[in-house]
Amino acid sequence: MSFLIDSSIMITSQILFFGFGWLFFMRQLFKDYEVRQYVVQVIFSVTFAFSCTMFELIIFEILKVLNSSSRYFHWKMNLCVILLILVFMVPFYIGYFIVSNIRLLHKQRLLFSCLLWLTFMYFFWKLGDPFPILSPKHGILSIEQLISRVGVIGVTLMALLSGFGAVNCPYTYMSYFLRNVTDADILALERRLLQTMDMIISKKKRMAMTRRTMFQKGEVHNKPSGFWGMIKSVTTSIPGSEMPDLTLIQQEVDALEELSRQLFLETADLYATKERIEYSKTFKGKYFNFLGYFFSIYCVWKIFMATINIVFDRVGKTDPVTRGIEITVNYLGIQFDVKFWSQHISFILVGIIIVTSIRGLLITLTKFFYAISSSKSSNVIVLLLAQIMGMYFVSSVLLIRMSMPLEYRTIITEVLGELQFNFYHRWFDVIFLVSALSSILFLYLAHKQAPEKHMAP
């Protein structure tokens, strides 16, 4: 009986998450495009719903809601469904939509998408070989095999995003890094842009006039047909008038067009910097500036800790909650009921981690989607994002285990089987370090290079 009640609660919450994913898709991701293939929207919402359910189960575990055996059952079921989606469905549909875009293969879409999916499975399988992630006692198609590989990909993604985010966050928040941009700079650049456009226009006018004159005078009965005809008509010079060489002008126009594109991008950049300067003078801007200093300290500390972990080959045994409580009890001498507080504090901590990581991921995905999608590739990109999101959330569950006190970890350990959790944490540290250091290098280079281009001497 209680199992039925528990299941109905789970299903209701899953439907809620599904609805949220649907709305997010329609309002945020696809707001400039038309949804023609509803299957894409369904897959995205389903992936989102099942990923959020996993987090919900963690919270239930901490708060001891629902019956323990029904929790275990739902964990297993949820995990199976998510793995099914991430390994079978989404890659297949990605292949299908890629193939649909290519006109040549349109007839045998299904065949080629199956081929693509098999290639994906091969590489996915090969991924597990170089990593010591499993004890070899398991069969081929067990959950542990799939989860271990999904975990590797997901943890890599998490570490990359986290490393870049840790460095980028103080860089964008702090106004110390803002270049000084005046209105005069922007006006000067705009004038150059318009001048370049005028030059392009005058050259194109010459070309149009030349073509018309040639058409009217000489070549009416001699239409350029075929390759040689066109070459002849371009370079034929009519005696008595100077006919400029069209190909030469076309080359000049191409160079000028490239220049105009560069100028456009630089101007947009200057406008963006100017807006940020304005924003930093407001209250909110100052608040974020202060936060930026705080985050930069946090970022440096994290990089330091990651290096220590790798160099001294240690993996944290206790979670921050128990550690914090130990410190307060032992060093600060404050006595309080450990069990009661540890439950609530873990709940709050884990809750914050979950919410910020979901929100951060959705925002990043949206930005990424706007930057690279077009009307042809939007389906493929959304499915790729759904795949990334699913893998990210699964590995979050893997890693969150470390932040929870021992008694709550057991369920995750039971459900996920015998994975080498320590390996994942080590792998996370390595990739985080690599990502953070390369982001610092990259931002440093970008920052140095920009001001020299358009500041007036």
Partner 1 sequence: MASLDRVKVLVLGDSGVGKSSLVHLLCQNQVLGNPSWTVGCSVDVRLHDYKEGTPEEKTYYIELWDVGGSVGSASSVKSTRAVFYNSVNGIILVHDLTNKKSSQNLYRWSLEALNRDLVPTGVLVTNGDYDREQFADNQIPLLVIGTKLDQIHETKRHEVLTRTAFLAEDFNAEEINLDCTNLRCLAAGSSNAVKLSRFFDKVIEKRYFLREGNQIPGFPDRKRFGGGPLKSLHYD
Could you tell me which stretch among 137-145, 196-204, 218-226, 310-318 binds partner 1 (CB under 8 A)? 196-204
* 374 touching partner 1, by CB under 8 A: yes
Could you tell me which stretch among 78-86, 201-209, 327-335, 445-453 binds partner 1 (CB under 8 A)? 201-209
Could you tell me which stretch among 119-127, 142-150, 173-181, 257-265 binds partner 1 (CB under 8 A)? 257-265
Task: State the nearest-atom distance from the C-beta of 210 to partner 1, in Å.
Answer: 8
Q: Which of 194, 255, 334, 446 binds partner 1 (CB under 8 A)?
A: 194
Q: Which of 115, 201, 355, 445 binds partner 1 (CB under 8 A)?
A: 201
Q: Which is nearer to partner 1, 155 or 200 (CB)?
A: 200
Could you tell me which stretch among 223-231, 260-268, 314-322, 347-355 binds partner 1 (CB under 8 A)? 260-268
CA distances from 28 to 64, 246, 367, 419 (A): 35, 47, 10, 37
* 271 touching partner 1, by CB under 8 A: yes
Q: How far is Cα 429 from Cα 308, in angstroms, rounded to an integer?
A: 10
Instruction: Write out the two tokens for 410.
Output: 């057991």
* 204 touching partner 1, by CB under 8 A: yes
Spatial CB neighbours of 264, under 8 Å, sequence gap ≥ 6: 193
Q: Which is nearer to partner 1, 275 or 418 (CB)?
A: 275
Q: Which is nearer to partner 1, 158 or 200 (CB)?
A: 200
Could you tell me which stretch among 3-11, 267-275, 303-311, 397-405 binds partner 1 (CB under 8 A)? 267-275
Q: Which of 76, 126, 212, 314 binds partner 1 (CB under 8 A)?
A: 212
Could you tell me which stretch among 121-129, 151-159, 191-199, 437-445 binds partner 1 (CB under 8 A)? 191-199
* 99 touching partner 1, by CB under 8 A: no
* 263 touching partner 1, by CB under 8 A: yes
Task: State the nearest-atom distance from the C-beta of 209 to partner 1, in Å.
Answer: 5
Q: Which of residues 24-83 bind partner 1 (CB under 8 A)?
A: 31-34
Task: State the nearest-atom distance from the C-beta of 197 to partner 1, in Å.
Answer: 6
* 275 touching partner 1, by CB under 8 A: yes
Total chain residues near partner 1 (CB under 8 A) = 35
Sign of CA dihedral 338, 344, 347, 351: negative
Q: Which of residues 353-372 bind partner 1 (CB under 8 A)?
A: 370
Q: Which is nearer to partner 1, 76 or 223 (CB)?
A: 223
Q: Which is nearer to partner 1, 286 or 376 (CB)?
A: 376
* 280 touching partner 1, by CB under 8 A: no
| Other CB atoms within 10 A of residue 348 CB | 12
Q: Which is nearer to partner 1, 75 or 288 (CB)?
A: 288
Task: State the nearest-atom distance from the C-beta of 277 to partner 1, in Å.
Answer: 12
* 131 touching partner 1, by CB under 8 A: no
Q: Which of residues 375-414 bind partner 1 (CB under 8 A)?
A: 375-376
Q: Which is nearer to partner 1, 207 or 234 (CB)?
A: 207
Q: Which is nearer to partner 1, 244 or 451 (CB)?
A: 244
Q: What is the 3-state secondary structure (H, E, C) of the chain?
A: CHHHHHHHHHHHHHHHHHHHHHHHHHHHHCCCCCCCCHHHHHHHHHHHHHHHHHHHHHHHHHHCCCCHHHHHHHHHHHHHHHHHHHHHHHHHHHHHHHHHHCCHHHCCHHHHHHHHHHHHHHHHHHCCCCCCCECCCCCCCCHHHHHHHHHHHHHHHHHHHHHHHHHHHHHHHCHHHCCCCCHHHHHHHHHHHHHHHHHHHHHHHHHHHHHHHHHHHCHHHCCCCHHHHHHHHHHCCCCCCCCCCHHHHHHHHHHHHHHHHHHHHHHHHHHHHHHHHHHHCCHHHHHHHHHHHHHHHHHHHHHHHHHHHHHCCCCCCCCHHHHHHHHHHHCCCCCCCHHHHHHHHHHHHHHHHHHHHHHHHHHHHHHHHHHHCCCCCHHHHHHHHHHHHHHHHHHHHHHHHHHCCHHHHHHHHHHHCCECHHHHHHHHHHHHHHHHHHHHHHHHHHHHHHHHHHCCC
Could you tell me which stretch among 38-46, 53-61, 97-105, 271-279 binds partner 1 (CB under 8 A)? 271-279
Spatial CB neighbours of 361, under 8 Å, sequence gap ≥ 6: 161, 389, 392
Q: How far is Cα 170 from Cα 294, in angstroms, rounded to an integer?
A: 8
Task: State the nearest-atom distance from the C-beta of 207 to partner 1, in Å.
Answer: 8
For partner 1, the binding residues (CB under 8 A) are 31-34, 190, 193-194, 197, 200-202, 204-209, 212, 257, 260-261, 263-265, 267-269, 271-272, 274-275, 370, 374-376
